[in-house]
Structure 1
Amino acid sequence: MNAATSVPTLPSNDRAADWRARVAHAFSRAAPHYRQRARAQQVMAERLLERLPERAGAVLDLGCGPGDLTAELAGRFGAGNDDGATIHGLDLAPGMLTEARRHHGEAIHWLCADAADLPLPSGSLDLVVSNLAIQWCPDLDAVLAEIRRVSRPGGRVLINTLAPGTLSEVGQAWARPAALLEFRDAARHRRAAHAAGFRRVEITARLERFHYPDLAAVMASIKGVGAQVARNGARLSRADVACATRRFETLRTEDGLPVSYHLLTLDLER
């Protein structure tokens, strides 16, 4: 991974369509064991829950995965009650929505769609929440424009995404780190949010670091949540793995092998 590069390169519609298909396939494959391997994602979701408004009548969890955060939102805002909120969980991966329905039922409205083409009416949402999903979207401007479109005037948008430097230890360990995503910086997100027309744009940065016992556990935490689809790479040999292990071991602390996530939290208001 080249941490200095901030924007994924997907110049053609065909390549973008292929990208979406690969992301949907990878996350669908990861869906059955996502919960067991998504500790980092679960911890970072707490940063969004801390910022929730007291009330919301219509809510979207964008990139909902297996629906655990969506269910938390449903509990917070009383989905299913006579005067409760309408909660939508949207994901590109059908397999994730299968898991979401299995674990959380049909009181939540599950939608399979692209974040850049939301199947919701304009001005219909009080709150949009998204935890670690929009970094997978090739067209950030289109995604934020769509989120603004479906938000009502005064509506809140809370997004967690990732900045350059994320997974830097993994990039250092692998001489040719196939399939690690390139991340956009805070300035790029700020420009896109302003271009979309949000009247309030706040972005905070935070370093989240997690530790694992060995390289296999590190790679399982990444691959297990579908996060090895960004680039096509050659199959790794045993020698490649051994070299990566030696490099990663030079970074070991008393807590284990570190993996850093440079978290950006966007707090937007239409």
Structure 2
Amino acid sequence: MNAVAIDKRAVAASFSRAASTYDQVAELQRQVGSNLLARLPDDLQPHSLVDLGCGTGYFTRALNARFERPVLGLDIAEGMLCFARTKGPEHAAWIAADAEALPLRGDSQHLLFSSLALQWCPDLGRALSEARRVLLPGGCMAFNTLVEGTLGELRGAWEQVDGYVHVNRFMPLAQLQVVLAEAGFARWHCEVETHVLHYPQLSALTHELKALGAHNLNAGRPGGLTGRARLRALTAAYETYRQVAGLPATYQVAQIILYK
């Protein structure tokens, strides 16, 4: 993502609206976040930790259970934070915050955890600079993000219909690796997972994206409602991807660990 392509206010508003429906359809999000959590070193015992882009607080609770420590939940979407507060954990603190301008002291955190949040940052390099600033020496940041190739089937189908931007753009892996290499961390590791979900029909996918708050947030998207003729054309184009299991939707997820 870049500053031209994404509007933070639109991101915050979209995810705030999705707070009450997000957990009902977030199976993939729980899976890739659990995979990230499993990548943390077994001997890691952080005394101060943050769930950055905590959303409904699912992984805030998971971090609290694993480390038996209070967790600070940060998110740009006030609606998500309001929902998270109702779920706990009891000792969590919830703060509205921008990953590119963290309201945290330098050298104050042992662990920053962030699952499927930083792809919505206009400037990932700035977010990583902030993360490095607030981490203690020897501290760890674990995050995952979507990269180019995600929802490629939906993008390809729309390209057969019109020239508008209908699908969120994600950073190419090569560009992500450059950003990671230039972020100033002592060492880092990046591994990409491919997840393919299947849907009985296109509407099941589009309804899920809306319920997640992750539908099209890019500049260049069409205004107003999509006409019936374009929807019929999109459905026909997407049907060319159909497999035995259903209509595929591919997600490319980079799982990253960095050490200060």
TM-score, normalized by the shorter chain, greater than 0.5: yes
Whether the aligned pair in 2 keeps the contact of 1:186 and 1:203 (CA below 8 Å) is: no
2:178 to 187, 191, 197: 191
SS in structure 1 of the partner of residue 168 of structure 2: coil
Please report how far the alpha carbon of residue 164 of structure 1 lies from its aligned counterpart in structure 2 after TM superposition.
0.7
Tell me the TM-score normalised to structure 2 length. Answer: 0.92
Q: 1-side partners of 2:18 and 2:140: how far apart?
A: 30
2:33 to 45, 51, 54: 45
Whether the aligned pair in 2 keeps the contact of 1:37 and 1:224 (CA below 8 Å) is: yes
1:233 to 222, 225, 228: 222
Q: 2-side partners of 1:87 and 1:261: how far apart?
A: 28
Q: 2-side partners of 1:171 and 1:189: how far apart?
A: 20
Whether the aligned pair in 1 keeps the contact of 2:60 and 2:89 (CA below 8 Å) is: no
Whether the aligned pair in 2 keeps the contact of 1:162 and 1:183 (CA below 8 Å) is: yes
Residue 214 in 1 paired to residue 204 in 2?
no
Q: How many pairs were matched up?
A: 252
Please report how far the alpha carbon of residue 193 of structure 1 lies from its aligned counterpart in structure 2 after TM superposition.
2.6
SS in structure 2 of the partner of residue 158 of structure 1: strand
Residue 203 in 1 paired to residue 197 in 2?
no
Measured on the aligned residues, the alpha-carbon RMSD in Å equals 1.6
2:4 to 10, 28, 31: 10
What amino acid is the match of 1:233?
Answer: P
Q: 2-side partners of 1:94 and 1:162: how far apart?
A: 23
Matches within 5 A, 1:21-60: 21-53=9-41, 54=43, 55-60=45-50
Tell me the residue number matched to 1:4.
none
Please report how far the alpha carbon of residue 63 of structure 1 lies from its aligned counterpart in structure 2 after TM superposition.
0.8
Task: Point out where structure 2 has 5 or more consecutive residues left out of the alignment.
Answer: none
Task: Point out where structure 1 has 5 or more consecutive residues left out of the alignment.
Answer: 1-6, 79-84
SS in structure 2 of the partner of residue 187 of structure 1: helix
Tell me the residue number matched to 1:171.
155
Tell me the residue number matched to 2:254.
264
Residue 63 in 1 paired to residue 63 in 2?
no
SS in structure 2 of the partner of residue 120 of structure 1: coil
1:112 to 96, 102, 116: 96
* CA pair 28-262 structure 1, distance change in 2 beyond 3 A: same
Tell me the residue number matched to 1:137.
121
Please report how far the alpha carbon of residue 118 of structure 1 lies from its aligned counterpart in structure 2 after TM superposition.
0.5
What amino acid is the match of 1:36?
Answer: Q
CA deviation string 1:195-240 (max 9, x = no partner): 2210102111121111111111100121211112223313211111
Please report how far the alpha carbon of residue 105 of structure 1 lies from its aligned counterpart in structure 2 after TM superposition.
4.7
Q: 2-side partners of 1:72 and 1:46: how far apart?
A: 9
Q: Give the % identical residues.
A: 38
Whether the aligned pair in 1 keeps the contact of 2:148 and 2:173 (CA below 8 Å) is: no
Q: 2-side partners of 1:61 and 1:187: how far apart?
A: 26
